[in-house]
Amino acid sequence: MLKICILGSGSMGTALAHLIGNNGHKVVIWSIDKDVSEHINIHHENKKFLPGVSLSKNVSANLILPLALADASVVIVALPTQAVNQVLHALRNHLADNTAIVSVSKGIDVKSGQTVSQIIKSVLPQARNKNIAALMGPLFATEISAKVPSVGLLATADIKVFKFLQKILVNKHFFVRYSDDLIGAELGGALKNIYAILLGVCDGLGYGWNTKSALMTAVVKEMAEVGQYLGGKKETFYGLAGMGDLLTTGFGDKSRNRRFGEKLCSGKSVQEAIKEIGHVVEGAATVKAVIKMLGAFKKQAPLLSAVNDIVSKRKNPCMVLQKLFSVI
């Protein structure tokens, strides 16, 4: 039995705790929410973020970061991307040298323009670089916890790290595929959140399958081009971490980013839409970072620009989408 520390008590962190705990490992969820932590420890349930899922007795929660991290063989980063830098600085003196670090956070830091693995590399000693991985792909937390067959992309530079993590994660309901394209996998997870907002706008405006299918086709093409431009392998964006993840996020009713785009079409402000959803909408922050990155290189991305116009500049969604029809 290994000890796994999960940073973040949201739906994905809790779903992975449920998965790994049932696989026979000890899991400690680090949470900043006292009520969530207490409910997990007393009732074995995260009523706030993953209600109805009974957690294994192998799973507990702790409010104190050093205690949660102590003796952990693996640390899973399941935090909002914009909080990762601060937390990593707080934990960097509490990790064993051989601890593997896995990111499941899908976004880009607005201030630095870095993915989570890049933040990890900038904060932690260089010797840890080989132990960094990212778990991406079409993975809804509620479906993982319901034991719906799911396949994720586990990206890391070292195949030995993949095989070690594979033994911890995989069971008859959950599977992982290998990729050495860590940056590409993370970019796929970040970019699909932005594009899912646009697909949600399409739904919010009441357009049909003709429109959404044409938009989806254009999105996949642009996402692969932008992802390659930012350092990923183009083929990664046609796989689980790109198109696969986009399909769940752009079409699924459970998708926060898609619902966010849909709500913006009803006249709600960004803040009102996020409040109604009740969870972090990563794409709303990530689009600003990506536009900034692309602007520095004068790279054109009309679909990303459209999302930025709707989210950041509050332009009329109908008018913005109408202009896109001439380029998709």
> Annotation-wise, does 280 bind a ligand?
yes
The DSSP element (H or E) to which 245 belongs, if any, is helix 245-251
The pTM (predicted TM-score) of the whole model is 0.94
- The whole-number pLDDT of residue 103 equals 98
What is the assigned CATH class of domain 190-324?
mainly alpha
Would you call 41 helix, strand, or coil by DSSP?
Answer: helix
Q: What is the pLDDT of residues 273-308, one digit of tens each?
A: 999 998 889 899 899 899 988 875 567 899 999 999
Handedness of CA 152, 155, 159, 163 (dihedral sign): negative
- The whole-number pLDDT of residue 300 equals 83
> Annotation-wise, does 137 bind a ligand?
yes
Catalytic residue among 47, 48, 111, 192: 192
Q: What is the pLDDT of residues 261-272, one digit of tens each?
A: 999 998 888 899
- The whole-number pLDDT of residue 126 equals 67
Asked whether the predicted pLDDT for residue 321 surpasses 80, the reply is: yes
Asked whether the predicted pLDDT for residue 328 surpasses 80, the reply is: yes
Cα gap 314→203, rounded to integer Å: 18
> Annotation-wise, does 259 bind a ligand?
no
Cα gap 260→197, rounded to integer Å: 6
Domains in the chain: boundaries: 3-180, 190-324
CA–centroid distance for 232 within its chain: 17
- The whole-number pLDDT of residue 296 equals 58
Q: What is the pLDDT of residues 211-240, one digit of tens each?
A: 999 999 999 999 999 999 999 999 999 999
- The whole-number pLDDT of residue 278 equals 83
Cα gap 244→307, rounded to integer Å: 20
Q: Does the annotation count 192 as an active-site position?
A: yes
> Annotation-wise, does 255 bind a ligand?
yes
Asked whether the predicted pLDDT for residue 191 surpasses 60, the reply is: yes
- In this prediction, residues 112-130 reach a mean pLDDT of 86
Q: In the numeric block, which tokens belong to residue 104?
A: 């499941």
- The whole-number pLDDT of residue 279 equals 82
- The whole-number pLDDT of residue 326 equals 86
Residues forming a β-bridge with 132: 101
> Annotation-wise, does 106 bind a ligand?
yes
CA–centroid distance for 68 within its chain: 22
- In this prediction, residues 72-82 reach a mean pLDDT of 96
- The whole-number pLDDT of residue 207 equals 96
Q: Report phi then psi at 22, rounded to 5.
A: -70, -20
Domain 3-180 sits in CATH at: 3.40.50.720
Between 37 and 93, name the one with better pLDDT.
37
Residue 221, C-beta contacts closer than 8 angstroms, at least 6 positions apart? none
Q: In the numeric block, which tokens belong to residue 91?
A: 């934990």
Q: pLDDT-derived band of residue 147, with 50, 70 and 90 as boundaries?
A: very high
Between 127 and 74, name the one with better pLDDT.
74
Kindly give the interhelix angle for 282-296 and 256-264, rounded to the nearest 10 degrees. 80
> Annotation-wise, does 73 bind a ligand?
no
Q: Do residues 126 and 97 touch, judged by C-beta distance below 8 A?
A: no
Cα gap 200→188, rounded to integer Å: 18
DSSP 1: -
Asked whether the predicted pLDDT for residue 97 surpasses 70, the reply is: yes
Asked whether the predicted pLDDT for residue 116 surpasses 80, the reply is: yes
